[in-house]
């Protein structure tokens, strides 16, 4: 099962991020352009948020886990508005990154991460620039839970997790080629409930960064404006599937499937932003499991219905999305009593077909399952 999870995560990461690594464009014109690459190195020393008993002190040391540090290297590009999506996002930077972390305990180890990076400008002054930065990728090399050798680690149950980071960075040029940066970010590591125990890790991290521009800084202030691009409302039908372990039996070895259909009606408000209501229909094999955690009878009690509202940002053929919903029908939580969340990414192979992965959670910190999805988009042009 561990090998299956690893293969699924790696294949999904490659299918979604490798086609998007260069952010393929929908622009038809191919004007002569010049790339502006940069190399960045950052150091982080931050706080481990006390969101589960393992972090609070129920570990082999008997003490709270308070701090972590990491070193990261990023290969980035920031071009002065050659393409539509660059102009829409006011000349962002984008690329790939690698991170090596330490949590000052053998129970977690020294994980590595590889991830995609997108930095969108929030404010530009004459010199100082502030960006919001989003990272999404994979982390591995964890010292995961083991009933004999690592029995207290209920935070990380598998050897591979999702790497998710959202934050703000400010950069100030100290020469033609070097920028000095500082920032603050929130990071989350979990496997979406695929392998439990999986209480996850949540970090709050100040960062210092040095960025080297190989060809100098691009002209970000005089870039052409995007204007109003063609817009579409859409009906998005999504088939989703995932496996998970039950929280109540997080130390056993039983896995249960979750499959379903979602219908999302997205209204395009700007060149890059969409939002709209949606319905979720999911069939959870775990909802009728017996008290000992073994599979039980299958019936209508396995069906859940949810209503949620989704927001989405388009970056060429890549989309970042999230939403908050409520379970209208749920055997375990009851009707209308439990809110849930979905955050994820998808890649549009054509105007109508997409594929991606979501993390489904409740209460914003407890992952339910990792949802792999295939979607079809019915488009309706709007004026």
Q: What is the 3-state secondary structure (H, E, C) of the chain?
A: CHHHHHHHHHHHHHHHHHHHCCCCCCCCCCCCCCCCEEEEEEEEEEEECCCCHHHHCCCCCCCCCCEEEEEEEEEEECCCCCCHHHHHCCCCEEEEEEEEEECCCCCCEEEEEEEEEEEEEEEECCCCEEEEEEEEEEEEEECCCECCCECCCCCCCCCEEEEEEEEEEEEEECCCCEEEEEEEEEEEEECCCCCCCCCCEEEEEEEEEEEEECCCCCCCCCCCCCCCCCEEEEEEEEEEEEEECCHHHCCCCCCEEEEEEEEEEEEECCCCEEEEEEEEEEEEHHHHCCCCCCCCCCCHHHEEEEEEEEEEEEECCEEEEEEEEEEEECCCCCCCCCEEEEEEEEEECCCCEEEEEEEEEECCCEEEEEEEEEEEEEEEEEC
d(CA 341, CA 358): 10
The whole-number pLDDT of residue 250 equals: 61
The whole-number pLDDT of residue 6 equals: 47
The residues of the chain scoring below 70 in pLDDT are 1-32, 248-252, 383
Query: What are the pLDDT digits (tens) for 51-68?
Result: 999 999 999 999 999 999
- Please give the structure tokens belonging to residue 258: 């979750």
CA angle at residue 81 from 79 to 86, to 5 degrees? 85
What's the CATH fold of domain 2-213?
A: Porin (2.40.160)
231-382 matches 2-213 in CATH topology? yes
The whole-number pLDDT of residue 24 equals: 45
The whole-number pLDDT of residue 158 equals: 86
The whole-number pLDDT of residue 217 equals: 84
CATH of 231-382, one of 3.40.50, 1.10.10, 3.30.720, 2.40.160: 2.40.160
CA nearest neighbour of 347 among 320, 326, 324: 320
CA nearest neighbour of 260 among 299, 304, 300: 304
Residue entry with tokens 């053929």: 317
pTM beyond 0.75: the answer is yes
Contacts of 134 (CB under 8 A, 6+ apart): 117, 118, 119, 120, 165, 166, 320
Domain boundaries, the chain: 2-213, 231-382
Query: What are the pLDDT digits (tens) for 179-228?
Result: 999 999 999 998 877 777 888 999 999 999 999 999 888 888 777 888 88
Contacts of 154 (CB under 8 A, 6+ apart): 52, 53, 54, 145, 197, 199, 250
């Amino acid at each position: 099962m561990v090998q299956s999870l690893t293969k699924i995560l790696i294949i999904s990461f490659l299918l979604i991020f490798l086609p998007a690594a260069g952010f393929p464009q929908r622009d038809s014109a191919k004007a002569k352009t010049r790339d502006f690459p940069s190399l960045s190195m950052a150091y982080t020393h931050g706080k481990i948020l006390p969101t589960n008993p393992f972090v609070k002190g129920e570990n082999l040391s008997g003490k709270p886990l308070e701090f972590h540090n990491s070193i990261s290297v990023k290969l980035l590009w920031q071009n002065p508005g050659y393409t539509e999506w660059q102009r829409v996002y006011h000349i962002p930077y984008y690329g790939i990154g690698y991170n090596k972390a330490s949590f000052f305990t053998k129970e977690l180890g020294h994980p590595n991460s590889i991830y995609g990076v997108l930095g969108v400008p929030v404010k530009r002054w004459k010199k100082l620039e502030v960006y919001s930065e989003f990272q999404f990728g994979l982390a591995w090399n964890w010292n995961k839970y083991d009933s004999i050798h690592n029995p207290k680690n209920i935070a990380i149950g598998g050897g591979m997790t999702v790497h998710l980071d959202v934050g703000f960075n400010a950069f100030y040029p100290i020469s033609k080629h070097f920028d000095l940066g500082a920032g603050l970010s929130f990071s989350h590591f979990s496997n979406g409930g695929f392998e439990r125990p999986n209480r996850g890790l949540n970090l709050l991290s100040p960062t210092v960064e040095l960025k080297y521009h190989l060809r100098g800084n691009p002209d970000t202030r005089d870039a052409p404006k995007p204007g109003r691009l063609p817009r579409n409302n859409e009906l998005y039908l999504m088939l989703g599937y995932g496996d998970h372990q039950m929280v109540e039996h997080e130390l056993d070895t039983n896995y249960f499937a979750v499959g379903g259909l979602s219908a999302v009606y997205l209204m395009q408000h700007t060149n890059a932003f969409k939002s709209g209501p949606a319905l979720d229909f999911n069939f959870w094999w775990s909802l009728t499991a017996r008290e000992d955690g073994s599979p039980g009878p299958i019936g209508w009690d396995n069906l859940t219905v949810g209503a949620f509202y989704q927001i989405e940002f388009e970056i060429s053929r890549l989309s970042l999305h999230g939403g908050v919903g409520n379970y209208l029908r749920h055997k375990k939580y009851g009707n209308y009593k439990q809110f849930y969340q979905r955050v994820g990414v998808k890649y549009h192979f054509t105007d109508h077909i997409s594929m991606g992965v979501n993390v489904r959670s409740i209460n914003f910190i407890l992952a339910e399952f990792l949802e792999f999805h295939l979607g079809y988009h019915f488009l309706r042009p709007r004026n």
